[in-house]
Chains A and B, each alone.
Chain A
Amino acid sequence: MKARKRERPRYAKPRRDSYVFRLFVAGNESNSSQARQKLARLCEEHLKGRYKIDVVDVLKHAASAHKNNVLVTPTLILIKPLPKVTVLGNLNDDRQVLAALRLTGDER
């Protein structure tokens, strides 16, 4: 029994308080690049060590965009913790983005 437990990879199980984001971008278009950088910075500042960003390029993976009901890029979806949140645009307004992602106040 003990041996089985050791075999389980640690990274596969996300921590309880970790954040999972999915960012839909269009290649290296300006707003997409901006959103990518902005999200990385915000996560580093507010969620250091407990976040995962999954970047989806809609130019390569259009099906994934349809599946997630993405109409425009950049679109950021907070997958975990629930409830899901969708933020559109280049994420240039820190205050609004943090509020939308529930990262202001006690959540920080």
Chain B
Amino acid sequence: MNNQKPPYSELETKMKEAEELIHVLRTQQVDAIVGERHIMLVRLKQAEENLKSSRNQLRTLASYLLSARENERAVIARELHDEFGQALTSLHLGLSWISRKLTPGQRPLQEKIRSLSAITTSLIRSVKNIASELRPGVLDELGLVKTLKSEAREFEGHTGIQCRFKTNTAKARFDRSAAVAIFRIVQAALTNVARHAHASRTRIALMKRKNGLILTVTDNGKGISRRLIHEHDSLGITGMRERALALGGTFTLGGSRRKGTILTVQIPLSRVLMGTAS
């Protein structure tokens, strides 16, 4: 009688063995799985290291591509502004000159020139907008903070969604590539707000803290699903994440129907600031 084990003892042992098996698999202490017909070698550590290294390579490539794209954009923006802008301005001036030379009797010709002149003005405006979209001149001229202020103002003007910007970095000097990255992240975030959030207000905050520079873009819209955050074809989100990671930072995106969407980017100060003016 004493040798009889309670009925649950065997089950308890099996449970313990299963737990141990799960533990060693999880902690990668296993190097082969013995099957009935085959023995499968598992080189998880090696596979993980390979994955890590290939992920790092991809990240470096992405960072290089982003910087190459920015440079290319800057060149195209400059060409557009200098070449097309100049040519269109000359065209506009020429049309005005012809218009002045026409006699009152040449009314149809005058109207034609007025119409061409209007098209030219519209083209000049478009070129200016495209160039500014490609490479916001204010970013180079006025710096990141003023550019973000202007971006918030323009966003509110275009979409009607109230947009506020606050910062404690007004006197900071930003690294050029970091400034471009932050600006592009804000641009992409605002585009998402306009396209998907159904929000009535949005807030941008760029704050210098002990643990780094924190950028947050929040809105009071319908939030974002987890599936969408991790979907590989969410190019806008992937782009923002890659830009943040390229600066050695972190990128988090979350939200709910009640709270809207919250985007947070944290970047080490050493990678962002060139020095703070007193």
Given contacts A30-B45, A58-B34, A72-B24, contact A89 B29 (CB under 8 A): yes
Within 8 Å of chain B (Cβ to Cβ): is A78?
A: no
Given contacts A26-B41, A62-B39, A86-B17, contact A71 B33 (CB under 8 A): yes
B36 to chain A: closest residue by CB:
A66
A29, B31: Cβ atoms closer than 8 Å: yes
CB-defined contacts of B34 to chain A, threshold 8 Å: 24, 58, 62, 65-66, 70-73
Within 8 Å of chain A (Cβ to Cβ): is B142?
A: no
Q: Which of B27, B32, B36 contacts A72 (CB 8 A)?
A: B32
Within 8 Å of chain A (Cβ to Cβ): is B140?
A: no
Q: Which 4 A/B pairs are nearest by Cβ-Cβ distance?
A: A26-B32, A29-B31, A89-B29, A89-B24
Q: Closest CB-CB distance, B172 to chain A, in whole Å?
A: 48
Within 8 Å of chain A (Cβ to Cβ): is B21?
A: yes
CA A73 – CA B34 in complex, angstroms? Answer: 8
Within 8 Å of chain B (Cβ to Cβ): is A37?
A: no
13 A-B residue pairs with CB within 8 Å: A26-B32, A30-B31, A30-B45, A31-B29, A58-B32, A59-B39, A65-B34, A71-B33, A72-B34, A88-B20, A88-B30, A89-B20, A90-B29
**Other CB < 8 Å A-B pairs besides A65-B39, A71-B34, A90-B29, 13 of them?**
A29-B32, A31-B29, A32-B32, A58-B34, A62-B34, A66-B36, A71-B21, A72-B25, A72-B30, A74-B31, A88-B24, A89-B20, A89-B27
CA A58 – CA B21 in complex, angstroms? Answer: 18
The proximity string for B residues 7-36 relative to A, scoring 1 for CB distances below 8 Å and 0 otherwise, is 000000000010011011101111111101
Q: Closest CB-CB distance, B114 to chain A, in whole Å?
A: 81
CA A74 – CA B21 in complex, angstroms? Answer: 11
The proximity string for B residues 76-113 relative to A, scoring 1 for CB distances below 8 Å and 0 otherwise, is 00000000000000000000000000000000000000
CA A18 – CA B199 in complex, angstroms? Answer: 76
A73 to chain B: closest residue by CB:
B32
CB-defined contacts of B20 to chain A, threshold 8 Å: 87-89
CA A66 – CA B38 in complex, angstroms? Answer: 11
B20 to chain A: closest residue by CB:
A88
CB-defined contacts of A87 to chain B, threshold 8 Å: 20
